Amino acid sequence: MYRMRDFIFKEVIDLNGKNIGFVGDLVIDFNLKLIKGFNVISNSILKKDTNIYKNDILSLNPVVISDKFSKDEALKFHDIRIMDVVDKNQNVIGKIEDVIFYENSFYIKAFIISSGLLYDMLYGRKILSAKKLILGDKNILYRNYIDEEEKINEYEN
């Protein structure tokens, strides 16, 4: 399994060995729960950021080697990182801090949620399944399904 921190600031080069820049963010498809590729920050001030997609990546270790680069707009992890994760009652659970995804398929398994520094130190961060999260305009909805046994215990108390 990979996490975002495994790729941030990793060097990106093309087939000729030319340094293109470094990985600055992940390009994601939240609906498919898929990491589509990486957003590459250029070393040159004059050049814009580019994206590289999973199918165009030839190697990931020790540097990212790609044969194609794209300048299209895409949803980046940073775009969702600033959004609140809320439950069905609009209670804020926290903010997405990191993502966990499979090595070969790049499908997202889970998101790591931070509820604030003090809370995280006392109780730890939460890990929520990607299948239970829905991306909205202003926040991310956590669909927490309670099984029947938990409902029974709740009514007895």
Measured CA to CA, the distance from residue 110 to residue 122 in angstroms comes to 22
Measured CA to CA, the distance from residue 110 to residue 131 in angstroms comes to 8
Strands 11-13 and 64-66, sheet pairing = parallel
pLDDT digits (tens, 9 = 90+) for 30-60: 999 999 999 999 887 778 889 999 999 998 8
Measured CA to CA, the distance from residue 20 to residue 42 in angstroms comes to 6
This model's pTM is above 0.85: no
64: β partners: 12
Quote the pLDDT of residue 37.
94
Measured CA to CA, the distance from residue 26 to residue 37 in angstroms comes to 6
How many CA atoms are closer than 13 Å to the CA of 32, on its beta-carbon side?
Answer: 10
Scanning the structure block, which residue is given the tokens 């804020």?
A: 92
Strands 2-3 and 108-114, sheet pairing = unpaired
Average pLDDT rounded to a whole number, residues 129-140:
92
Average pLDDT rounded to a whole number, residues 75-81:
93
Architecture of the structural domain at 2-77: Roll (2.30)
Measured CA to CA, the distance from residue 140 to residue 155 in angstroms comes to 29
Q: How would residue 84 be classed by pLDDT, with cut points 50, 70 and 90?
A: very high
Quote the pLDDT of residue 70.
87
Quote the pLDDT of residue 146.
54
CB 18 within 8 A of CB 65: no
Helix ranges restricted to H, the chain: 77-81, 117-123, 148-156
- In Å, what is the CA distance from 91 to each residue of 16, 82, 108, 128, 142? 51, 16, 24, 15, 10
Whether the pLDDT of residue 145 is over 90: the answer is no
Residue ranges, comma separated, of all CATH 2.30.30.240 domains in the chain are 2-77, 81-156
Quote the pLDDT of residue 72.
87
Identify which has the larger pLDDT, 1 or 147.
1
Quote the pLDDT of residue 61.
85
Chain centroid offset of residue 156 CA? 39
CATH 2.30.30.240 describes domain 81-156: yes
